[in-house]
């Protein structure tokens, strides 16, 4: 069965420092992976998806099939990055399986 693992429940990073939120998945097929974010008092929203290979708000994520990982990275953290981050796997379509989430806190 498909599974998404986010090993860190909480992560605190100083402003200006690099950020890396870890995500590992298990799925026998070809995965579609996403990062969703929930800012305080806002709806859960898509941050980025691996297939588009884009950078949103300075965040990037590279799919590593060998390590079955899809870690989210940002070189310089900003205070507005504080939020709950969820890694998600679309498998099998049309179901989306979420990880348990990582609460990121940026320390001023």
Partner 1 sequence: DAGITQSPRHKVTETGTPVTLRCHQTENHRYMYWYRQDPGHGLRLIHYSYGVKDTDKGEVSDGYSVSRSKTEDFLLTLESATSSQTSVYFCAISPTGTNEKLFFGSGTQLSVL
Whole-number minimum distance, CB 7 to partner 1, in Å?
13
Out of 29, 43, 66, 67, name the contact with partner 1 by CB under 8 A: 43
Q: Is 34 in the site for partner 1 (CB under 8 A)?
A: yes
Structure tokens at 49: 């998806």
Distance, CA of 31 to CA of 17 (rounded, Å) = 30
For partner 1, how many residues bind (rule: CB under 8 A)? 21
Q: Which is nearer to partner 1, 18 or 105 (CB)?
A: 105
Q: Is 40 in the site for partner 1 (CB under 8 A)?
A: no
Distance, CA of 47 to CA of 35 (rounded, Å) = 5
Q: Evaluate whether 40 touches 54 at the Cβ level (below 8 Å).
A: no
Q: Where are the beta strands (DSSP E) in 62-101?
A: 72-74, 83-90, 96-98
Using CB under 8 A, list all residues that contact partner 1. Answer: 6, 9, 32, 34, 36, 43-46, 49, 86, 90, 93-101
């Amino acid at each position: 069965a498909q599974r998404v693992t986010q090993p860190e429940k909480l992560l605190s990073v100083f402003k200006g420092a690099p950020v890396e939120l870890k995500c590992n998945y298990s799925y026998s097929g070809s995965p579609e992976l996403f990062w969703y974010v929930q800012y305080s008092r806002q709806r859960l929203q898509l941050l980025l998806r691996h297939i588009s290979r884009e950078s949103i708000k300075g965040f990037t994520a590279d799919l590593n099939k060998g390590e079955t990982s899809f870690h989210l990275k940002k070189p310089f953290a900003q205070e507005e990055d504080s939020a709950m981050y969820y890694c998600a796997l679309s498998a099998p379509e049309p179901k989306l399986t979420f990880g348990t989430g990582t609460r990121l806190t940026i320390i001023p």
